[in-house]
Amino acid sequence: MHEELLNFMPENQKLTPSSIIIGIGVSVERLDALFDYFKDVKPLHSLSYIVVQTPSVKHKGFTASLMEKYLSLNVEMAEQGSAIMANTVYLSPPEHYVEILENKTIKLTPYTIIENNHFPINVLLKSLAKTQKEKAIAIVLPGKERDGFEGLKIVHQYNGFSTVQDAAGASMYSFANVFAAPENIAGYINQLHESMDDYDSFSEGAIDQILYKIQNQNGVDFSMYKKKSILRRIERRMKLLGHPLETLDEYMIFILDHPEELQRLHDDLLNGITHFFRDEEFFYQLRKTYIPKIIENNIKKDKQTCRIWIAGCSTGEEAYSYAILFSEELEKRKLDIDLQIFATDINRRSIQKASKGSYTENEVSSIPSDWLKKYFDKTGQRYSVKKILRNHIIFAPHNLIRDTPFVNLDFISCRNVMIYFQRKLQEKALSLFHFSLCDGGLLVLGPSETIGNQSEVYQPVDWKWKIFKNSFYDQKAKRNRFHLNALEAGKALANTFENIDERKNLQLDELYLSLIDQFLNPFLIINDQEEIIASSPNASQFLKTPAGSPSNSIYSRLSADLSVPISSALKKIKDHKSEIRRNHIKVTINGAPVFVEITVRRFKFNVRHYPLYVLFIHKELEGIKTNKKEFLMLDQEIYPNHCIQKLEMLINETNSKLQTTIEELEISNDELRSTNEKLIADNEELQTSNEELQVVNEDLMTVNGNFEKKIEELSSTAGEMEKMLINSNIATVFLDNEYNIKLFTSEAANVFHLIDRDVGRPIYHIASRLNYREFLDDAKKALNEMKTIQKEVEADNKDIYIVKMIPNLSNGTKADGLVILLVNITDLKATNKALQVGSHRIEHSNSSIVVASPSGRIKYVNINFCSILGKEQFEIIGQNIFDIYQNSFKVHEFKDHWDHVLKHKSWTGEEYSQGRNGTDLWEKVSFITLEDNEGNIQQIMRVAEDITHQKNSEKMLMKSEMLSAIGQLAAGIAHEIRNPLTSLKGFLQLMIQSNTYHKEYAEVMQSEFIRLESIINEFLFLSKTKSSKFETICVNDIIEDVYLILEAQAMLKGVRITKALCQDVNEVRAVPSELKQVFLNILKNAIEAMEELEGEILIQSKGEEDRVLIMIKDQGKGISKDFLDKLGEPFYTTKEKGTGLGLMVTMRIIESHKGEIIFESEEDQGTTVKIYLPCL
């Protein structure tokens, strides 16, 4: 099929680095189209190709060996870091993304598992566009997938050349440069390659002529755009024509014959590629970091409006994206800040679409579903922007360079607009943005755009996303950076008005400027000094930038062709004429001659006190006949001579008048000379007087300065007093000496029925809420006797007020008024009463109460505490509580208790001491911290309740229970001892009767004696009432000791003892010998329970909250549920020779340690004993 392509490269051919890279994206369904393309590809010295295909499980992809059969180029699989060489086709490895780096090397990235869909063509084309920019060439041979759509848009955005297979992509890829069959695409690429090499052969003059015609037709000046970008668009138009053209001259002739082509080229030059949330990562960073900072800055500055400018908004997708993000942030913060977004573009058609806010389903596919539902309405197959979002945005056609910029902006986005500008135009745009942004405002540019030499006014915030912060390093320099424009003049006029709403004024300015630009001829406003103070946006074509220092003179800003006739017209209109018209004036605009007509009129503007004139400039249409006389008068050679002649006549006339005036002045001069001599004498006298007056004046100035200073101090004091009175919550009424109201505070209206109109009325005409019949009498008494009167009065609503009448002494001897203060003390009285009740209760409480500082110094003690010590309050307050405890209570653990309170904020427990008479004193003591608002301990309160009686009652109860237990024990002992005694008695009788010693009888009798001794010992231990000394111990140490004692005995009986002890278990307060007895009793029982059974006994210790758990678990016979409840009863045991007293002793020891013992057992399942002891 493709045998004619088997033309291999010579073996000695050397590959060279590629200067032009062509990225090809192909669907696996279109591999035949790929071969059709390469059929006509010729080896070129500077071209290389990178081919990627969409992933598919149904179709097999291409391989290097397969491609080499049909291509005349070198074919390789792309490798990591390999340099891209000319005349080589690089194929993407399976399941890898291919990217092009800046140094023209290849980067491979494996697919990630988390991605549901892979778009390798988009990845390749995006990297191609960002690295090769306008030299990027992209070919997409699409299938059913969307892969390649986003990447091709980026190539088009960077002015690269994009080609799509016509049958597959004409509908979706409408922005592509060429749509062609695969076999014809190679021809376009060859032509493009030749045009890149032969760019200099194109006539720049032809390009300028085309741009000049576009400007005349559409008013858009592309002369400062990059020539290569413009040429690329022109070539695209040339190739899209039915019969492609070869040269710009041919295209120029075509435009003259087909004017509609000029509009198509204009639309193509205004690149409108955009979509919602373009660059998702950029918008994520903007939402996460920078939009909150903008809102925070507005809050700090107390700004009620957030102003944003989207320059080059195209069809509005980007503007609506910003509006959504800012709206979400304001809604999240619940702020009532007015969001104003100005979205502008030079393309009026794009603005019309953006203003409608209607988009297809494909266009809104990148908007998150929740935002799409929130901000858009679906109508049929289209989505329309809701009013809640649309009301924030003003769309307007706007020329970024020529038209007036917006001002006081917080944020400007101008992404991918300036990449088409030449450097001078970029600098001008950046200067305008600097002028428009407020200090600290943010500017966002496109990925390949920079701030150039504007680093002095823009600080980088995020280099990756080209976000810069505006900085007003020099306000004067800022003002000098910009030329005169209509907005500055509008500001000058607007400053003369006051109280005009800023937002309405802004919208009106925009409306006026838009109306002026679209429907009025260019005009200038000129003052009587022949200076331009304002201009319409479309008048900029006639203005020039003056060299040197800025000047607004018509001679500096206008060419001589215009300035001379305008100056002449201004002189004539000053002679009370209302209008002067001049026509057929030849001027040069952008190198082309144009004839214009000027009209000068008086401009009525009431605010100005000097005359203003408005100058209209109208371009004459070709072919209009003009008055020959006017034409000759304004001829560029004759007109200056005419002006010179007129000026000479004026000079001669002035000289004649001047000579006559000189002669008259000489006569008057003699008369004035004599008068002057007299005046000199008078002047000397006046000078002497003046010196004396000057001395007096200096003294007066000094006095006046002192007075002014005092007045300022008095004014400041009066202002502060007024603020204090207004904001005071104390009701105050000021009366004059006639008891008329001079001033009152708002709080006074709650006592007297006062309103603002009551000022000047007598106070006794005003009803009050006070039950104060003597009010007027007391007021007279205070005023006449010049003394302060204070009383406590009740109001109708039972509130209590302190009424204080203070005479206002003017000169110390006479009162010229009264100041009446009324303070509501109802809450204060109630608080005082409650405090008194509480204080009385504390003072006479049955508990003893002490309040001390954290260091221990006593601040307060109540009567009960004093009675315990037998001292008065004044003797105790001021002492240290540690000394009190040491001398009176002798509680050695007090220091530990106090440190525990400082650390844990509280402690409760029982304390034992001896009273003054040596009697026992038991108290339940609680230490409570008193803290400030920040949680710092200020004081510690000790509250103690006397529980001595309760303790004595417990002892009595314990004795009663002990007697009862002894009774039970006695009964048990009688039963237990009777059995061995009966046995002893029987054996003794047998031995007496037989009168013979029997060893067997003696051994039985000895075992019975041992049993009796064991019963008596356990009984003695149980009945023993010894004082035990508690110590701070670790239970693990006791367990280790018991383990050593019983380990050998257990091993003899075939039982293993295993320990699982927690190393960081808390310490406990216990009697070591008693705990050892407990563990010995339980372990012995466990060993005996496992007699004749091999097994394991587990001993475990661990901490549980504020307790320590010791668990002993055996694998013995177990105990039935019926017997579990009887454990601990005296003489109850499950062993044949047991007494039950050992377990009773164990339970008593655990009880004395305030612990708990629990038995868990089942028959044939073993027994578990859990012992809980309180930890420190």
pLDDT bracket for residue 108 (50, 70, 90): very high
Answer whether residue 642 is part of any domain: no
CA geometry: angle 112, 118, 124, nearest 5 deg: 100
Half-sphere exposure of 73 (CA within 13 A, CB side): 26
Q: In this model, does residue 638 exceed pLDDT 70? A: no
pLDDT bracket for residue 924 (50, 70, 90): confident
Q: In this model, does residue 554 exceed pLDDT 50? A: yes
Q: Please give the pLDDT value at position 967.
A: 64
Q: Which of 185-194, 702-711, 750-759 has the lowest mean pLDDT?
A: 185-194
Answer whether residue 500 is part of any domain: no
1135: containing domain: 1028-1174
Q: Which alpha helices (DSSP H) does 616-637 contain, by range? A: 628-633
Q: With contact defined as beta carbons under 8 Å apart, do 266 and 220 qualify?
A: yes
182, 38: one domain: yes
Q: In this model, does residue 423 exceed pLDDT 50? A: yes
Mean pLDDT of 429-441: 87
pLDDT tens digits, one per residue of 579-609: 888 887 888 887 778 888 888 888 766 444 5
Q: Please give the pLDDT value at position 628.
A: 39
pLDDT bracket for residue 627 (50, 70, 90): very low
* Tally of domains in the chain: 8
1151 versus 251: which is more confidently predicted? Answer: 1151
Q: In this model, does residue 791 exceed pLDDT 80? A: yes
C-alpha closest to that of 145 among 25, 294, 12, 6: 25
CATH number at residue 75: 3.40.50.180
Q: In this model, does residue 341 exceed pLDDT 90? A: yes
- Is residue 890 helix, strand or coil? coil
Q: Please give the pLDDT value at position 202.
A: 52
Mean pLDDT of 681-710: 77
Answer whether residue 252 is part of any domain: no
Which residues lie across from 1031 on neighbouring strands? Answer: 1070
pLDDT tens digits, one per residue of 28-55: 777 778 888 887 777 665 788 999 988 7
pLDDT bracket for residue 896 (50, 70, 90): confident
759, 906: one domain: no
Element (H, E) at 725: helix 638-727
Q: Max Cα separation, the chain?
A: 191
Q: With contact defined as beta carbons under 8 Å apart, do 800 and 822 qualify?
A: no
62, 144: one domain: yes
Mean pLDDT of 621-627: 50
The structure tokens listed for 984 are 């002893």
Mean pLDDT of 967-991: 67
The structure tokens listed for 568 are 């002449």
Of the three residues 946, 980, 1011, the one that is the final residue of a domain is 946
701, 740: one domain: no
Q: Which of 188-192, 1018-1022, 1029-1033 has the lowest mean pLDDT?
A: 1018-1022
Instruction: Give the integer Cα–Cα distance in Å for 445 and 442.
Output: 10
Answer whether residue 440 is part of any domain: yes
Q: Please give the pLDDT value at position 290.
A: 93
390 versus 258: which is more confidently predicted? Answer: 390
Cβ-Cβ contacts under 8 Å for 484 (sequence gap 6 or more) = 532, 534, 535, 552, 557
pLDDT tens digits, one per residue of 1159-1174: 898 888 889 999 999 9
Q: In this model, does residue 898 exceed pLDDT 90? A: no
Q: In this model, does residue 1020 exceed pLDDT 70? A: no
Q: Please give the pLDDT value at position 3.
A: 34
Q: Which alpha helices (DSSP H) does 768-825 contain, by range? A: 775-785
* Unique residue bearing structure tokens 């041992």: 1010
Which range of 883-887, 978-982, 1131-1135 scores highest in mean pLDDT? It is 883-887
Instruction: Give the integer Cα–Cα distance in Å for 305 and 298.
Output: 8
DSSP 418-475: GGGB-HHHHHHHHHHHHHHEEEEEEEEE-TT---TT-TTTEEEEETTTTEEEE--S-H
Answer whether residue 257 is part of any domain: no
996 versus 962: which is more confidently predicted? Answer: 996
Distance of CA 927 to the CA centre of its chain: 46
916, 986: one domain: no
The structure tokens listed for 438 are 């407020």
C-alpha closest to that of 168 among 295, 32, 355, 329: 32
Distances, alpha carbon 290 to alpha carbons 458, 547, 729, in Å? 16, 41, 44
* Unique residue bearing structure tokens 């409108």: 272
Instruction: Give the integer Cα–Cα distance in Å for 741 and 733.
Output: 7
**Strands, sheet with 74-77, edge to edge from the N-terminal-most edge strand:** 74-77, 88-91, 47-53, 20-26, 137-141, 161-165, 178-180
Q: In this model, does residue 4 exceed pLDDT 50? A: no
151 versus 479: which is more confidently predicted? Answer: 151
Of the three residues 1021, 1037, 1072, the one that is the final residue of a domain is 1021
Q: In this model, does residue 639 exceed pLDDT 50? A: no
Q: In this model, does residue 503 exceed pLDDT 50? A: no
The structure tokens listed for 379 are 């109508």
Q: With contact defined as beta carbons under 8 Å apart, do 468 and 443 qualify?
A: yes
628, 656: one domain: no
Class of residue 14 by CB neighbours under 10 A (exposed 0-12, middle 13-18, buried 19+):
exposed
Q: Please give the pLDDT value at position 253.
A: 78
Instruction: Give the integer Cα–Cα distance in Å for 737 and 432.
Output: 67
Q: Please give the pLDDT value at position 386.
A: 93
Mean pLDDT of 386-407: 85
Instruction: Give the integer Cα–Cα distance in Å for 735 and 748.
Output: 13
Q: Please give the pLDDT value at position 141.
A: 86
968, 929: one domain: no
776, 904: one domain: no
Mean pLDDT of 686-706: 77
Answer whether residue 269 is part of any domain: no
Instruction: Give the integer Cα–Cα distance in Å for 570 and 601.
Output: 9
CATH number at residue 966: 1.10.287.130
Q: In this model, does residue 286 exceed pLDDT 70? A: yes
Of the three residues 168, 197, 226, the one that is the final residue of a domain is 197
Q: Please give the pLDDT value at position 238.
A: 77
DSSP 925-951: EEEEEEE-TTS-EEEEEEEEEE-HHHH
657, 712: one domain: yes
Mean pLDDT of 851-875: 86
Nearest-Å Rg of the Cα atoms of the chain is: 54
Q: Please give the pLDDT value at position 477.
A: 40
Q: In this model, does residue 931 exceed pLDDT 80? A: yes
Q: Please give the pLDDT value at position 153.
A: 83
CA geometry: angle 1106, 1111, 1112, nearest 5 deg: 160
Instruction: Give the integer Cα–Cα distance in Å for 577 and 570.
Output: 10
Q: Please give the pLDDT value at position 308.
A: 95
C-alpha closest to that of 522 among 586, 584, 615: 615
886, 786: one domain: no
893, 1032: one domain: no
Answer whether residue 356 is part of any domain: yes
| Residue 650 burial (CB count, 10 A) | 10
Answer whether residue 791 is part of any domain: yes
Q: Which amino acid is at 714?
A: L
Mean pLDDT of 820-835: 84
Mean pLDDT of 676-689: 74
Q: Which of 35-39, 244-248, 275-279, 286-290 has the lowest mean pLDDT?
A: 244-248
Strands (E), 480-560: 523-527, 532-535
Q: Please give the pLDDT value at position 1049.
A: 78
| Residue 529 burial (CB count, 10 A) | 10
The structure tokens listed for 501 are 């709403």
Q: Please give the pLDDT value at position 144.
A: 67
C-alpha closest to that of 341 among 362, 357, 361, 364: 357
Mean pLDDT of 898-924: 79
Q: Please give the pLDDT value at position 11.
A: 38
Q: In this model, does residue 965 exceed pLDDT 50? A: yes
CATH number at residue 793: 3.30.450.20
| Residue 630 burial (CB count, 10 A) | 15
634 versus 1140: which is more confidently predicted? Answer: 1140
Q: Which amino acid is at 467?
A: I
Q: Which amino acid is at 334?
A: K
1015 versus 309: which is more confidently predicted? Answer: 309
pLDDT bracket for residue 961 (50, 70, 90): low
Instruction: Give the integer Cα–Cα distance in Å for 119 and 123.
Output: 7
Instruction: Give the integer Cα–Cα distance in Å for 166 and 764.
Output: 100
Q: Please give the pLDDT value at position 490.
A: 40
Q: In this model, does residue 320 exceed pLDDT 80? A: yes
Q: In this model, does residue 494 exceed pLDDT 60? A: no
Mean pLDDT of 697-703: 80
Q: With contact defined as beta carbons under 8 Å apart, do 1080 and 1046 qualify?
A: yes
pLDDT bracket for residue 113 (50, 70, 90): low
956 φ, ψ (degrees, to nearest 5): -60, -45
**Strands, sheet with 1095-1104, edge to edge from the N-terminal-most edge strand:** 1055-1061, 1095-1104, 1107-1113, 1166-1174, 1156-1162
pLDDT tens digits, one per residue of 175-218: 777 777 888 787 777 766 665 544 444 556 677 777 777 777 76
Q: Which of 42-46, 799-803, 1017-1021, 1042-1046 has the lowest mean pLDDT?
A: 1017-1021
Distance of CA 322 to the CA centre of its chain: 17
3-state helix, strand, coil in the chain (%, to 5): 45, 25, 30
Q: Please give the pLDDT value at position 412.
A: 95
583, 623: one domain: yes
**Residue-averaged pLDDT of the chain:** 77
990 versus 749: which is more confidently predicted? Answer: 749
